[in-house]
């Protein structure tokens, strides 16, 4: 009996130990279930994040592909535009060279005809070929930027030269047509014409009848067309009208007063006096031409640098805005600011010089800027 009790006690002790172990296992199982639940929640969150990442990656790839396609299309258009601009530039350059060649040939023919029929207009004809001489560039061409500037100046200078040559040809045709009307009654041979002119000049004007006859002849010639002096005054006035309007009348008056010297005789002193007068006019013409050429080159260089700096400032505004400003908005801000500052400068210069300089409108500045940018782009394409 006692042995059975001992066995029962032993069995009870074992069962109690097992119960303790079972309780511990239950506790561990509960903890594992809790951890499993947490893991499942984390796994669900991970799956959601992975799905979101996959969606974003797919969207990014799609946008990248669209951007690549758009850029490829833009590159194709730009290449086509560049090729077209190069062809147009080559064609325009060839046409300009042909035009200058034709103008120079016509000018040489006009010079020969003027030397045979109108010796008095040699000073006008001699001024035309001097237009085609190229002066030294204003910048050093040792650097790439200087070469680019020099090419741009050369292209613009050729255009200026062509326009000036055509303007001179029109003026010469006007001179020839006017002088041709006054020479209808004169001999056709240059030798006879020169001998008669010298005889008419060297004859003493003692009799009143001869003076009246000469005056009547001059009056009849003036009725047929404008006199040479008046024509010269108009030519000077047309040249001066493109410059300062406030001093135009003073220059015309000053030059026109020196147009008609006294009668020239065969005396050496009289010829020297007339030659000195003609030399002064010729010197003024050459000086005005040199100033015009320098002013043209300075204008071209200023517009070139203006367009270059304008593009730099425009890109700076767009980049610093962080995407808030587009190109149109940035251009508008620049146009407004430049117009304001420009009109202030011109107003200050008007007060300093005593002249009334006109204000520059925003639309005019916009057109000038676009023209300067186009010229800058054309010069870069030509260099490429």
Q: Closest Cα to residue 231, out of 173, 166, 178, 165?
A: 178
Q: Which residue would you say has higher pLDDT here, 369 or 125?
A: 369
Q: Closest Cα to residue 359, out of 330, 338, 333?
A: 338
Q: What is the pLDDT of residue 54?
A: 92
pLDDT tens readout for residues 184-207 = 443 344 344 444 443 443 444 444
Per-residue pLDDT band for 162 (boundaries 50, 70, 90) equals confident
Q: By the 8 A CB rule, do 339 and 360 touch?
A: yes
Does 228 have pLDDT greater than 70? no
pLDDT tens readout for residues 11-59 = 888 888 888 889 889 888 999 998 889 898 999 999 999 999 999 999 9
Q: What is the pLDDT of residue 338?
A: 92
Q: By the 8 A CB rule, do 190 and 118 touch?
A: no
Does 109 have pLDDT greater than 80? no
Q: Across the chain, what does the average pLDDT equal?
A: 71
Burial class (CB in 10 A: 0-12, 13-18, 19+), 152: buried
Q: Closest Cα to residue 334, out of 365, 356, 305?
A: 365
Q: Which residue would you say has higher pLDDT here, 10 or 110?
A: 10
pLDDT tens readout for residues 274-331 = 677 778 888 888 888 888 888 888 888 899 899 989 999 889 888 898 888 888 888 9
Q: Closest Cα to residue 364, out of 324, 337, 325, 335?
A: 335
Reported as half-sphere exposure (CB side, CA atoms, 13 A), residue 65 has a value of: 6
Q: What is the pLDDT of residue 287?
A: 84
């Amino acid at each position: 009996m006692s042995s059975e009790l001992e066995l029962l006690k032993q069995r009870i002790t074992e069962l109690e130990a097992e119960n303790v172990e079972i309780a511990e296992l239950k506790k561990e199982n509960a903890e594992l279930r809790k951890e499993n639940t947490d893991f499942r929640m984390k796994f669900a969150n991970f799956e959601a994040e992975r799905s979101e990442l996959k969606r974003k990656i797919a969207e990014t790839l799609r946008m990248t592909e669209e951007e690549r396609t758009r850029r490829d299309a833009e590159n194709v258009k730009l290449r086509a535009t560049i090729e077209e601009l190069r062809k147009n530039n080559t064609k325009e350059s060839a046409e300009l060279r042909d035009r200058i060649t034709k103008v120079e040939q016509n000018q040489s023919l006009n010079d020969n005809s003027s030397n045979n029929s109108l010796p008095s207009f040699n000073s006008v004809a001699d001024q035309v070929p001097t237009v085609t001489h190229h002066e030294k560039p204003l910048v050093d061409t040792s650097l790439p930027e200087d070469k680019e500037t020099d090419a741009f100046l050369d292209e613009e200078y050729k255009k200026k030269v062509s326009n000036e040559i055509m303007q001179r040809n029109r003026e010469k045709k006007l001179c020839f047509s006017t002088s041709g009307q006054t020479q209808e009654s004169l001999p056709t041979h240059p030798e006879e014409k020169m001998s008669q002119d010298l005889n008419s000049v060297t004859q003493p004007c003692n009799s009143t009848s001869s003076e009246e006859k000469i005056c009547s002849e001059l009056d009849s010639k003036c009725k047929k067309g404008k006199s040479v002096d008046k024509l010269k005054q108009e030519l000077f006035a047309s040249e001066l009208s493109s410059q300062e309007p406030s001093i135009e009348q003073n220059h015309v008056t000053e030059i026109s007063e020196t147009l008609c010297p006294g009668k020239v005789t065969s005396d050496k002193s009289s010829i020297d006096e007339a030659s000195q007068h003609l030399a002064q006019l010729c010197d003024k013409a050459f000086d005005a031409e040199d100033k015009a050429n320098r002013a043209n080159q300075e204008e071209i260089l200023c517009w070139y640098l203006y367009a270059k700096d304008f593009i730099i400032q425009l890109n700076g505004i767009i980049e610093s805005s962080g995407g808030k400003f587009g190109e149109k908005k940035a251009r508008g801000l620049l146009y407004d600011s430049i117009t304001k500052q420009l009109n202030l400068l011109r107003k200050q210069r008007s007060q300093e010089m005593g002249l009334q300089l006109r204000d520059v409108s925003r639309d005019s500045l916009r057109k000038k800027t676009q023209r300067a940018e186009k010229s800058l782009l054309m010069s870069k394409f030509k260099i490429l």
